[in-house]
Amino acid sequence: MKHLPAHTIQVAGLQKHYVVHEKEPGLAGSLRAFFHRKTKLVQAVAGVTFTIDPGEMVGFLGPNGAGKTTTLKMLAGLLHPSGGSVDVAGFTPKERRAAFLKLITLVMGQKQQLLWDLPALDSFRVNQAIYEIPDDEYQATMREFNTILELEGILKKQVRKLSLGERMKCELAAALLHRPKVLFLDEPTIGLDVNMQVRIREFVAEYNRRFQASVILTSHYMADVTALCKRIIVIDKGQIVFDGDLGELTERAGARKVISVELARLVTLERLASYGQVQSVEGLRARLEVPRQTTSSTAARLLAELPIADVTIEDPPIEEVIGQMFGGHRPATADMVRAQEPQEVGS
């Protein structure tokens, strides 16, 4: 078996573009397109460069259509790059060599590999044969996964009779039976309830600890990323716009702090807004956004001038920080309050 290089993943100038056919609406448009097809070039990934070390877990973030899944598919060898180079564990992914496939796995939360009408255990046995896993290793891995994921009692049920959470646990187990050293996880917790999201995160963290696997994780649930990854890569419009520490991103893009207060009695929104931008109000609780450099003085004024029962200061949620990087504004929330309206907090 090949020895892993210094960097498990090395990507340089990676590109992927598609030729898309355009057609005007209606019958006339269809006829014109039949004789004179119009095309345009769509750049899905435009010169992406990064490296990932053995055992490193990296969050790969970006808005829909940014190029995340396309990049993962090129790293897994499912798509051929239009340009640039990719090296994963010493292999060129697009060659899809058997030794390479035994080193990696790709888990997509919206796709499934388990056979729908068979018990998950049958799919596990198929994977054992495909990856040529010795029986003693297979049994040992199954014991570990049973302990971590609590699979006992669900492996002999038909997959179609499993809940979404049970099915996702089995999908992960099936994908990791061959103990891959490189994990590409694309939205592995999508659609799961909070408790199951926590369980899946704990499993990924434990797998990384036991096998020192390199992990690239995409997720719209920021709790996944903040719980598992110290480093994040942010991609937008096919290009990397940030690559670094999670805290560094907050420091770099979040020039503001959030002060959450719990009031002892009612205060008008107009008065509260004089201290900062009111983000939300829920009962006697309110959230204010203030410039980072004035955080201490604003908190001191709030404590001195308002009936404050409790106060906390924190960085803005990371999804808001990333939203600012992409769109230059904080995403609207359902409980956003217009500070200028003469209402009362807690009314």
CA distance 231 to 67: 18
Strands 38-52 and 9-22: antiparallel
CA distance 115 to 314: 46
Of 134, 168, 136, nearest to 150 (Cα)?
168
Q: What is the pLDDT of residues 125-150, one digit of tens each?
A: 999 999 999 999 999 999 999 888 88
pLDDT of residue 325: 67
DSSP 292: G
The CB density around residue 255, as the number of other CB atoms within 10 Å, is 12
- Overall residue count recorded for the chain in this entry: 347
**Helix (H) or strand (E) segment spanning residue 197:** helix 194-211
**Residues 195-224: what's their mean pLDDT?**
91
- Contact assessment for residue 88 and residue 104, using Cβ atoms and an 8 Å cutoff: yes
CATH architecture of 254-345: 2-Layer Sandwich (3.30)
Measured in whole angstroms, the distance separating CA 137 from the mean position of its chain's CA atoms is 31
The CB density around residue 27, as the number of other CB atoms within 10 Å, is 7
Q: What percent of the chain has pLDDT above 90?
A: 55
Residues of the chain with CATH 3.40.50.300: 54-82+92-249
CA distance 120 to 115: 7
Residues of the chain with CATH 3.30.70: 254-345
Q: What is the pLDDT of residues 258-317, one digit of tens each?
A: 999 999 988 888 888 999 989 888 888 999 989 888 999 999 999 999 999 999 988 777
**CATH domain 54-82+92-249 topology:** Rossmann fold (3.40.50)
Q: What is the pLDDT of residues 152-202, one digit of tens each?
A: 889 999 999 999 889 999 999 999 999 999 999 999 988 888 888 899 999
pLDDT of residue 89: 94
Question: Under DSSP, is residue 261 helix (H, G, I), strand (E, B) or coil?
Answer: strand
pLDDT of residue 339: 31
The Cα diameter of the chain in Å comes to 76
pLDDT-derived band at 13, boundaries 50, 70, 90: very high
pLDDT-derived band at 19, boundaries 50, 70, 90: confident
pLDDT-derived band at 331, boundaries 50, 70, 90: very low
Residue 275 region by backbone torsions, left for phi larger than 0, else alpha for psi between -120 and 50, else beta: alpha
pLDDT at residue 77 above 50?
yes
DSSP string, 39-97: EEEEEEEEEEEEEE-TT-EEEEE--TTSSHHHHHHHHTTSS--SEEEEEETTB-GGG--
DSSP string, 303-337: HHHS-EEEEEEEPPPHHHHHHHHHHSSPPP-TTB-
Phi, psi of 336 (to 5 degrees): -65, 135
pLDDT of residue 279: 86
Encode burial over 220-233: b for 16+ CB neighbours within 10 A, e otherwise. Answer: ebbebbbebbebbb
pTM here is 0.76
Return contacts of 276-281, CB within 8 angstroms, 24+ apart. 277/339, 278/337, 278/339, 279/333, 279/336, 279/337, 280/333, 280/335, 280/336, 280/337, 281/335, 281/337, 281/345, 281/346
CA distance 310 to 298: 14
pLDDT of residue 175: 94
